[in-house]
Amino acid sequence: MPFWHVLGAGSLGSLWATRLARAGVPVRLILRDSARLKAYAAKGGLTLSEQGQRQTFDITAQTLDDPQPIQRLLVACKAYDAQSAVASVASRLTPGADVLLLQNGLGSQEAVAASLPDLFPPPRCIFVSSTEGAFRDDDFSVVFAGQGANWLGEAHQGLAPVWLDELVAADIPHQWGPDILERLWRKLALNCAINPLTVLHGCRNGELQKRAAEVTALCDELVAVLECCGQPKAAVGLHQQVDQVIRATAANYSSMHQDVAQGRRTEISYLLGYLCAAAARHGCQAPLLDQLRERLIDHLKAQGLPSD
Ligand code: NAP
């Protein structure tokens, strides 16, 4: 059975690695350097907390420059790190290797795909849209915070891979389908309708219910942009779903709000930034989204955070 090489032992990478290891699936963690390898060794493994239970898995880790060939790579870095991280292990990929991309938003997937080595058969890029939730409560320790789904697929609609059975064994919810791009666009639009406003208003998701006019105007523009960018299916019922997400997650702070509050870089370039650039490329007017992006960039700069 080929190894799953998990690149990035952060929240989602750890969530996948520990569940695979728990099912007896062979896993290797790829850490950025020997300092991180040492820190990992000191912890004695990767810990998963689920429903109050903590369990540590002694998963073997290696650095980017380890010589072991990679047949199956799970890229679990942030969108802004994905391309350079994959480039660091590109020479280890075997012909026909599977490269699974867990990144939120759009743009990083294309960047990774374009930089994969020229092999025959070529590496296969698989996009994942995840609604599972996880956070780190300590270095190399992850809390499984929200049940969800993982939608998997290829831009060019390939056959379902045989290793989906290993996800079944590991109890990782998943669905393989032909509509992964539509799902990524839809999730991107939901994010653009909610997350930037929660950052600018410094509020939980639920407080956007008091700003219904602002949300409605944004949704109307988002629908027009999706249609103009050739993603009409991702636009269907968008406003209703935005309202539903706001209600269902009323007590939560959005991921972008959490990033800003904790002084972390956001993925703005792969979310609102990507959407505004796509609208401009298609000659589609998006004045509200452009203005929202400018306000968000000003806000990030004022907080001393990167605005890209
Ligand atoms: P995270 O906790 O910040 O983890 C990212 C990990 O990537 C870190 O451990 C980081 O290493 C590692 N990394 C970055 N560059 C690397 C390199 N060159 N070599 C090796 N490791 C490298 O991020 P996350 O929350 O898991 O998010 C990953 C992606 O999933 C994001 O696009 C996010 O939007 C998406 N997502 C997350 C969730 C969630 O609940 N967390 C849900 C859905 C989607 P260090 O620890 O050394 O910095």
The one-letter amino acid at 14: S
Contact by Cβ (8 Å): 58, 44: yes
Q: Which of 12, 140, 174, 268 to mutate to test the pocket of ligand 1 (most atoms within 8 A of CB)?
A: 12
Q: How far does the centroid of ligand 1 lie from the alpha carbon of residue 283, in Å?
A: 33
Residues forming beta bridges with residue 6, ordered by sequence position: 29, 74
| 187 included as an active-site residue | yes
Q: Three-state SS string across 138-183, please? A: ECCEEEEEECCCEEEECCCCCCCCCCHHHHHHCCCCCEECCCHHHH
Q: Which of 5, 6, 7, 11 to mutate to test the pocket of ligand 1 (most atoms within 8 A of CB)?
A: 11
| Report field, pTM of the whole predicted structure over 0.85 | yes
pLDDT in tens, the chain (308 residues): 899 999 999 999 999 999 999 999 999 999 999 999 999 999 999 999 999 999 999 999 999 999 999 999 999 999 999 999 999 999 999 999 999 999 999 999 999 999 999 999 999 999 999 999 999 999 999 999 999 999 999 998 889 999 999 999 999 999 999 999 999 999 999 999 999 999 999 999 999 999 999 999 999 999 999 999 999 999 999 999 999 999 999 999 999 999 999 999 999 999 999 999 999 999 999 999 999 999 999 999 999 999 99
Q: Report the pLDDT value the prediction gives residue 72, as an integer from 0 to 100.
A: 98
Q: Report the pLDDT value the prediction gives residue 295, as an integer from 0 to 100.
A: 98
* Residue range 181-302, CATH number: 1.10.1040.10
Determine the Cα–Cα distance for residues 131 and 146; give it in Å rounded to an integer: 8
Q: Report the pLDDT value the prediction gives residue 42, as an integer from 0 to 100.
A: 98
Q: Report the pLDDT value the prediction gives residue 220, as an integer from 0 to 100.
A: 98
Check pocket membership of 134 for ligand 1, CB cut-off 6 A.
yes
Domain ranges of the chain: 4-177, 181-302
Check pocket membership of 77 for ligand 1, CB cut-off 6 A.
yes
State the catalytic residue, choosing from 38, 43, 78, 187: 187
Q: Which CATH class is domain 4-177?
A: alpha beta
Q: How far does the centroid of ligand 1 lie from the alpha carbon of residue 3, in Å?
A: 20
Q: How far does the centroid of ligand 1 lie from the alpha carbon of residue 36, in Å?
A: 14
Contact by Cβ (8 Å): 123, 178: no
Residues forming beta bridges with residue 133, ordered by sequence position: 146
Check pocket membership of 106 for ligand 1, CB cut-off 6 A.
no
Q: Report the pLDDT value the prediction gives residue 135, as an integer from 0 to 100.
A: 96
Q: Report the pLDDT value the prediction gives residue 290, as an integer from 0 to 100.
A: 98
Q: Report the pLDDT value the prediction gives residue 262, as an integer from 0 to 100.
A: 96
Assigned token pair, 299: 């806000």
Q: Report the pLDDT value the prediction gives residue 1, as an integer from 0 to 100.
A: 87
Determine the Cα–Cα distance for residues 168 and 175; give it in Å rounded to an integer: 10
Q: How far does the centroid of ligand 1 lie from the alpha carbon of residue 79, in Å?
A: 8
Determine the Cα–Cα distance for residues 308 and 84; give it in Å rounded to an integer: 16
Contact by Cβ (8 Å): 64, 32: yes
Q: Residue 142's closest CA among 36, 257, 14?
A: 14
Q: Residue 218's closest CA among 199, 237, 190?
A: 190
Q: How far does the centroid of ligand 1 lie from the alpha carbon of residue 294, in Å?
A: 26
Question: Side by side, which strands form the sheet with 124-130?
Answer: 61-63, 27-31, 4-7, 70-75, 93-101, 124-130, 150-153, 175-176
Q: Report the pLDDT value the prediction gives residue 158, as an integer from 0 to 100.
A: 84
Q: Which of 31, 32, 152 to mutate to test the pocket of ligand 1 (most atoms within 8 A of CB)?
A: 32
Check pocket membership of 133 for ligand 1, CB cut-off 6 A.
yes
The H or E element containing residue 53 is strand 53-57
Q: Report the pLDDT value the prediction gives residue 205, as an integer from 0 to 100.
A: 98
Q: Report the pLDDT value the prediction gives residue 157, as an integer from 0 to 100.
A: 81
